[in-house]
Amino acid sequence: MEILNKDLLVEGAKNFGIYLDGKAVEAFELYLKELLKWNQKINLTAIQSEKGIVLKHFLDSLSIYPYLPKYSSILDIGSGAGFPGIPLKIIQPSLEITLIDSVRKKVDFQRHIIRMLGLKELKVIHGRVQDKEILQSLGGDFDIILSRAFSDLQTFLVLGFPFLKKEGTVIAMKGQVDNKEIELLMEIEGTRYRLQKIDPFILPFSNFKRTILLFEKI
């Protein structure tokens, strides 16, 4: 990682109350290097510049850190090349995270990175949350369900609901959102949620508008 982009990562993380030590920075450097290398052969991300990956993948993933209890069980749905689950695990090893994605090559990459970084209590599943076997094995297991680019918000809330513990939290990471649309989602058929927070922000060192939404299962 070039010095400029390393500085973006370190300084950008401070916006979310994260102070990266040398070990964490090394982990992100390796992650970046491997992502760029794999991306030349298989399409893991459309973002191919170091700066773009630092801003739009690493820092965006870290943006939800302030909302995560130190000891939480988390299901990252549609985790792609490992975002946001793997960056969160790098900075907070106490989190128990399960990644699930339906694309085999992305799952293979996740497992590769996890091995290279020596991360523990980080599980990877190849499949879909709609799969009956996955729901049977993981239903009701998690404190937090999160997703960054899985689907539209309504679909995410419906599919995430059965995996949550009572009073668990759904965290949706989106672009700009319409508050009126959010209000209509509170009582989707078969689910019950309470909107806890809507947090719009701009990613550090960019003009990328993002929104974090928190819903509590009731």
Q: What is the pLDDT of residues 157-204, one digit of tens each?
A: 889 999 999 899 999 998 887 766 666 666 666 678 888 888 999 999
Q: Which pLDDT does position 160 carry in this prediction?
A: 92
Residuewise pLDDT in 10s, the chain (218 residues): 666 788 999 999 999 999 999 999 999 999 999 999 999 888 888 888 899 999 999 999 999 999 999 999 999 999 999 999 999 999 999 999 999 999 999 999 999 999 999 999 899 999 999 999 999 999 889 999 999 877 788 888 889 999 999 899 999 998 887 766 666 666 666 678 888 888 999 999 999 999 999 999 98
Q: Which pLDDT does position 129 carry in this prediction?
A: 92
pTM: 0.93
Contacts of 70 (CB under 8 A, 6+ apart): 92, 94, 95
Nearest in space to 93 (alpha carbons), one of 165, 143, 24:
24
Q: What span, in angstroms and rounded, lies between the C-alpha atoms of 39 and 30?
A: 14
Please provide the DSSP assignment of 43-68 as one string. -S-S--SHHHHIIIIIIHHHTTGGGS
Q: Which pLDDT does position 189 carry in this prediction?
A: 62
Q: Which pLDDT does position 109 carry in this prediction?
A: 97
Residue ranges covered by each domain of the chain: 64-217
Find the helix or strand (DSSP H, E) in which 134 lies.
helix 132-138
Q: Which pLDDT does position 41 carry in this prediction?
A: 87
Q: What is the DSSP letter of 165?
A: E
CATH number of the domain located at residue range(s) 64-217 in this protein:
3.40.50.150
